[in-house]
Structure 1
Amino acid sequence: MAKPENDAEREAAIARVLRPLGTGPLPLEQAKQAAKLLNLHWATVYRLRRRFLSNPVTSAVKARERGPKRGKRQLGGRTEAIVDDVLNVWLPKQRQLAHPLSDLTLEIRRRCAESGARPPSRSTVARWWATHRETQALERVNADQPPGNFVVRNPLNVVQVDHTQADLLVVDDLLRRPLGRPWLSLAVDVATRCVVGFYLGMDRPGAATVALLLTRVVLPKAEWLEKLGVQAEWPMHGMPRVLHLDNAAEFKSRALLAGCAEYGIELMYRPVGRPHFGGHIERLNRTLMERVHGLPGSTGSSPKGRKARPPEKQAALTLREFEQWLALEIAQHYHHSAHRGLLGATPASTWTSRTAAAPAPTLPESPDAALRFLVRFLPIARRTIQSDGLTLFYVRYWHPIFSAWREDRRLVTIRYHPEDLSRIFVSSTGKEFIEVRYADLRRPPISLWEQRAAVKALRDEGQRTISEVMVFRTIEQQRRLIADAKSMARKAKRHSTPAREHSAHGIFEQGASPSAASASTQQPDPVDYSKPATAYDVEQW
């Protein structure tokens, strides 16, 4: 082969020889033939081929520049450590320097003299400082990217998850007194802007919240909507490939990390202090809260003006009623409204069209696939098997296999469902779990929040020692109070309805005013005694 005249021709010639060699193992004979064509040593052919296979473009075989690289330091290790400390630690603390280069040089030389290191020249410091400023400028550019450049094509490729405290006060089921502002956890699909799941609760979000939210993302929502008492179409579900999260502690829990590793879900964390990296879900939070501001008990987005509209007096929705409202608002209104980020299309139509082209991944079809997925993300606790079984949250559990495990008081891993403590999942190896029920099967299913409320009520009564019997008795009393209150409210409403209907239909439909109606009830029509008396059927004694 003729000798190339310049570097570009040389690179093109090398690429022409390397491309037909394929990607498999290269025999030595072929390498020697290629080396003869290129006037190179056969070992150089292998080295160039490795670079070419990692990036199969002509520029990948570009000749390396000879000599020291720009910005590379050639002084001793102590001098380089001093320079790094001055540039990265000392310099940012200086508010204002009259002559930055001179001051840098003097500080570096002073430290070098103290440590006995070789001091650099002024020109060397100038080069290092210029390289340092360029690096900082590039970091600022990369960190300050404007929102809206996060483009995802296929559904569930990236799902953003975040929590927010709702701008609404909810009331309790019993006395309709304000409970506080609930926490809303949302999961939004970046490609279609669809809400693929949400979770509402009074407690601050934790590992249990994330687990329950993920199950709603992955599993079909028909059963959950039926349990909630909401009739709506919500087909968005499936296995996310990437979860885009902030740096909250609940997003780094053992349960979440282990569950995502098991199902191949990648975790992507936003840079600290950069909320615009989660712009899609931040905007959705604002959209939903703007709708919430029209509900009774709304606190508004700002504390200004709350005295003029006290939310404590206007609060009317319970937590369940607010959850029903959110489900309807998302499934019937948000999903079918034009979205600016989708160029005017709706999230629901975008989901339908894109899942037709690239179906969203789902759980494998097996009878226990949903349960296995749920267990992998549930919160984790560790206990030791005792002679009477296993105790968690003052509740005792038993399984026949405990008879073998209790001999060595084995330490086991427990996963529990916060919404249903009637069963837990126990493993001695951390891999395969068995389902374990109450030791006393007569106990009703309870939630972790009911258990905590019962324990708090017992503590408030001065109880120092709490037992399982006391917890279930307190929960039963609280449930009975709520049921009785609801029954009385229904009876009162039923008895008051006929009177209101009679008043409305009997008087106001005749065109009389309310004052006239009250006057007619106070002053009955006079009796005409000249007319014969009317005979009525009476019972004979």
Structure 2
Amino acid sequence: MYPCQPSKKREDNMAPEAENSLVLRENVAGEWEIINAPLELPGEVQQQIEAIQKLLAVQGTERYGRVQQQVAQQLGISVRSVQRLLKRWREQGIASLPRQKRSDRGAAKTSREWQEFIQKTYQDGNRGSRKMSRAQVYLRVQAQAEANGVKEYPSRPTVYRILRPLLKQQQQQKRTLGWRGEQLKVNSREGLEIDIEWSNQVWQIDHTQIDLLVVDMSGEILGRPWLTIVVDTYSRCIMGMHIGFDAPSAAVVCLALRHAILPKQYSSAYELKQSWGTFGLPQYLYTDGGKDFRSQHLEQVATELGIVLCLRRKPSDGGIVERPFGTFNREFFCTVPGYTGSNVKERSDKAESEACVTLVQLEQMLVRYIVDHYNQALDARMATQSRIARWEAGRMAQLPLLGERELDICLMRRDRRVVYRSGYIQFANLTYQGEHLAAYAGESVIIRYNPRDITTIYIYQLLESKEVFLTRAHAMGWETEILSYL
């Protein structure tokens, strides 16, 4: 039990109801509650007490740091201020919580002319495609003061304070109707409302055709490849991806999903400084209503893996998965030779002559950008936490590891072939041999393969409507190479 105001020694003749102390007590449900509270508390004090309750409820647990940051955002103060608030309350009780009102509180200390100049400068600087930050507005204030020979002008904090209502309004306009304060929820076409509370709870998938021309090994232009990404809604981490020339389809979605689910390991050719540590299974897969997301194939895969498929109510609900494409263009694709630009009318005439990157090279560069930069970048809502750190902090428990064979039956492309007498299979103008395959000579088998590397295929036999894994087969003469089938 913690006192909410400094305890005083009770006189023997003092009735319990005469004591006017406030305490927070842990009830039988394990929750902290206020007892002996007055009938009304100022709103600000009540908010602070509720914040203290949240901190006490998770003290000593791994969630404490995360809740501390949430409380700081809720109260509009720094984490350090939250720590001081809790320290004051422990030492002085509830008497320490109300803020002392200043006699000049609410009085405007900045002239109306300066306020109007600051607001107008910010609004004019953010019209159309133009972007102006608060820091740039402050520089304009400095320049205006120097031009007019004024020595006293609004400080940087004052400029930020004057712009705060405009920034708040702008933030509310940008956020979709799914936001409730700092809590995000997604709404499905089926009527589901999902509060986003942890990592791997809801994944989102989408495609885009990259604004970049790639070439083959001889330097001939192949065109613009398609990129499919899987994004974790809670952390905004890129969980997985697929890049190739196949147009969006259920098969492409499944390949991207397979990459997201499995732990990822890369050779030294990728030159990674960090590791792509994300993996696991989502509870929900949240997508648009395209036919690739409504296919029987994807439904079967989701059923096998225990994933709930959800469709977005409207296109504007897809901002979380669509926003990274714009970031990729601004920060990565525009730096690669062969970049065409996103505006069709303004595309560079030099893109074709400059194009020199193959699909394999582009995939390596993109993986390096995602792992070492995008996932390591600070999350917009948690200014002190990167996307990958937020994903790791939001993991509810030890994640189960699925093996590649468990996912092959669901996520890789499928075809049928006949095993020849000497135990080999013909596919894509290649000859494959596998251990013990000769025992199935003359039989029709199912092959599954990854189109990005068909040097190895996986052989299954259909028994009582169930695919049973037999063996893997390797392309003869290609054992140490990578060969795509895109």
Name the TM-score, length of structure 2 as normaliser: 0.53
| Partner residue, 1:417 | 450
Asked if the contact 1:297–1:312 (Cα under 8 Å) also holds between the matched residues in 2, the reply is yes
Shift of 1:255: 4.5
2: distance between equivalents of 1:316 and 1:324? 14
Alignment correspondent of 1:437: 473
Equivalent residues in 2 for 1:521-536 (5 A)? Answer: none
Distance in 1 separating the partners of 2:361 and 2:426: 34
**Structure-1 separation of matches of 2:238 and 2:246:** 22
Per-residue CA distance 1:67-106 (angstroms, 9 max, x = gap): xxxxxxxxxxxxxxxxxxxxxxxxxxxxxxxxxxxxxxxx
For the residues of structure 2 that align with 1:402 and 1:254, how far apart are their CA atoms? 34
2:338 aligned to 297, 302, 310, which one?
297
Residue matched to 1:184: 227
Q: Does 1:370 pair with 2:413?
A: no
Does residue 234 in structure 1 map to residue 265 in structure 2?
A: no
2:202 aligns with one of 154, 158, 165: 158
Give percent identity, aligned residues only: 28
Which residue of 225, 242, 245 maps to 1:199? 242
Structure 1 counterpart of 2:222, which letter?
L
Aligned partner (choices 338, 356, 361) of residue 399 of structure 2: 361
Secondary structure of the corresponding residue to residue 284 of structure 1:
helix
Partner of 1:474: none
Work out whether residues 280 and 400 of structure 2, in 8 Å CA contact, stay in contact via their aligned partners in 1: yes
Q: Distance in 1 between matches of 2:275 and 2:446?
A: 38
Give the aligned residue type for 1:204: A
Deviation at 1:384, TM superposition (A): 5.2
Q: Distance in 1 between matches of 2:458 and 2:251?
A: 14
> Is 1:215 the counterpart of 2:255 in the alignment?
no
Aligned pair count? Answer: 293
For 2:440 and 2:354, the matched residues in 1 are separated by: 58
Distance in 2, matches of 1:227 and 1:340, equals 31
1:264 maps to amino acid: G
In structure 2, relative to structure 1, the CA distance for the partners of 1:225 and 1:215 (3 Å cut) is: farther
- C-alpha distance in 2, partners of 1:195/1:216? 11
> What pairs up with 1:1-400 in 2 under 5 angstroms?
146=177, 148=179, 149-150=184-185, 151-175=195-219, 177-221=220-264, 223-224=265-266, 226=268, 228-271=270-313, 274-291=314-331, 292-307=333-348, 309-342=349-382, 345-355=385-395, 358-359=396-397, 361-363=399-401, 369-383=403-417, 390-397=425-432, 400=436
Could you tell me whether the CA contact under 8 Å between 1:255 and 1:380 is conserved in 2? no
Alpha-carbon contact 2:432-2:476 (below 8 Å) kept: no
The answer (yes or no) to whether the contact 1:417–1:424 under 8 Å persists in 2 is: no
Q: Is the 8 A contact 2:460 2:467 kept in 1?
A: no
Q: Which has the larger radius of gyration?
A: 1
Paired residue secondary structure (1:427): strand
SS in 2 for 1:432: strand
Question: 2:388 is aligned with what amino acid?
Answer: A
- The 1:287/1:253 distance shift into structure 2, 3 A limit, reads same
2:235, 2:379 within 8 Å by CA — same for their partners in 1? no
1:160 counterpart SS class: strand
For residues 407 and 355 of structure 2, what CA distance do their matches in structure 1 show?
A: 37
Cα 1:172–1:382 shift into 2, 3 Å? closer
Structure 1 residue 253 displacement after superposition: 4.6
Query: Contact (CA 8 Å) 1:186, 1:197: kept in 2 or not?
Result: yes
Once the two structures are superposed, residues 467-513 of structure 1 have per-residue CA deviations (whole angstroms, 9 ceiling, x without a partner) of xxxxxxxxxxxxxxxxxxxxxxxxxxxxxxxxxxxxxxxxxxxxxxx
**Structure 1 length normalisation: TM-score?**
0.48
Structure 2 vs 1, CA of residues 337 and 442 (structure 1 numbering), >3 Å: closer, same or farther? closer
What are the superposed Cα offsets for residues 426-472 of structure 1, whole Å, 9 maximum, x if unpaired?
Answer: 2222332212425x84554776745x7xxxxxxxxxxxxxxxxxxxx
| In structure 2, C-alpha distance between the alignment counterparts of 1:445 and 1:372, rounded to whole Å | 25
The structure whose residues are more often strand, as a share, is 2
Q: Distance in 1 between matches of 2:427 and 2:372?
A: 41
Q: What is the rounded CA distance, in whole Å, between the counterparts of 1:394 and 1:253 in structure 2?
A: 29
Check whether the contact 1:416–1:425 (CA below 8 A) recurs between aligned residues. no
Corresponding residue SS for 1:336:
coil
CA distance in 1, matches of 2:408, 2:273: 24
1-side partners of 2:239 and 2:358: how far apart?
A: 24
- Please list, as runs of the form range in 1=range in 2, the aligned pairs for 1:465-480 lying within 5 A after superposition: none
> How far off is 1:396 after superposition?
4.9
> Unpaired segments of 5 or more residues in structure 2?
1-175, 186-194
CA deviation map 1:222-254 (0-9, x unaligned) = x23546443322212212222222333443455
SS class of match (1:382): strand
Q: For the Cα contact (< 8 Å) 1:171–1:178, is it kept in 2?
A: yes
Aligned-partner SS, 1:304: helix
Cα 1:155/1:304, change in 2 over 3 Å: same
Q: CA RMSD in A?
A: 3.2
Distance change in 2, residues 1:443/1:428 (3 Å): same
Give the partner amino acid of 2:211. D
Question: How many angstroms apart in 1 are the aligned matches of 2:476 and 2:347?
Answer: 49
Distance in 1 (alpha carbons) for counterparts of 2:371 and 2:472: 36
SS in 1 for 2:231: strand
Map Cα deviations across residues 114-142 of structure 1 (whole Å, 9 max, x no partner).
xxxxxxxxxxxxxxxxxxxxxxxxxxxxx
Please tell me whether the aligned partners of residues 420 and 446 of structure 1 are also in contact (alpha carbons under 8 angstroms): no
Alpha-carbon contact 1:218-1:238 (below 8 Å) kept: yes
Kindly indicate which of the two structures has a greater share of residues assigned to helix: 1
In the alignment, is the contact (CA less than 8 A) between 1:192 and 1:342 conserved in 2? no
Shift of 1:164: 0.7
Look up the SS of the partner of 1:434 in the other structure: strand
Could you tell me how far apart the structure 2 residues matched to 1:173 and 1:386 are? 33
Q: Unmatched 5+ residue regions in structure 1? A: 1-144, 453-541
**CA distance 1:425–1:256, shift in 2 (3 Å):** farther
Aligned equivalents of 1:405 and 1:323: distance in 2?
38
SS at match of 1:380: strand
